[in-house]
Amino acid sequence: MATDIALYADRLAQKEHELIELQATFNKYKLKSKVKFDQLRKEVSAYCSDHGYSIDDKENNALLLIRLAETEVELDAACREAEALRKEMSKKQTQLNDQLILIRVCELIYISGAFLMQSSFRTWRNSFVRFNL
């Protein structure tokens, strides 16, 4: 029992350590994204001041850049979804083609069977007629 408790305590300590590492990584990426956003804001401001745009235009340009980035993300998501749907459609088309092949094979078997039965019936009838004459 004590070894189980020690084992779970060790696992808990390990998970807490992993959580701390994940939080540190998250904070690092969060800081990097803030730095990138600030850098983008400075570049937009510098571009606007160099080209004589007013402050309202600066804000508008920044909003347009943000909307552009959001639209690109949405476009990427839509492309991924379209690719997934294309793959699913291809898979369904393959299944339909397989079913069509099976149906045609069954039709051929049915036709062959009917032909064989008809041929057998003719043979039987001909032999019956010969014996009755």
The predicted-structure confidence for 74-117, as pLDDT tens digits, reads as follows: 888 888 889 988 888 888 888 888 888 888 888 888 777 777 77
What is d(CA 27, CA 24) in angstroms, rounded to the nearest whole number?
Answer: 5
Domain holding 40, by residue range, is 1-52
Q: Is residue 24 part of a domain?
A: yes
- CB of 40 within 8 A of CB of 64? no
Q: Is residue 38 part of a domain?
A: yes
What's the confidence (pLDDT) of residue 23? 84
Q: Is residue 1 part of a domain?
A: yes
Q: What is the dihedral of CA 45, 48, 53, 56, to 10 degrees?
A: -30
The predicted-structure confidence for 16-65, as pLDDT tens digits, reads as follows: 888 888 888 888 887 887 788 778 777 877 777 787 766 576 677 777 88
Q: Is residue 85 part of a domain?
A: no
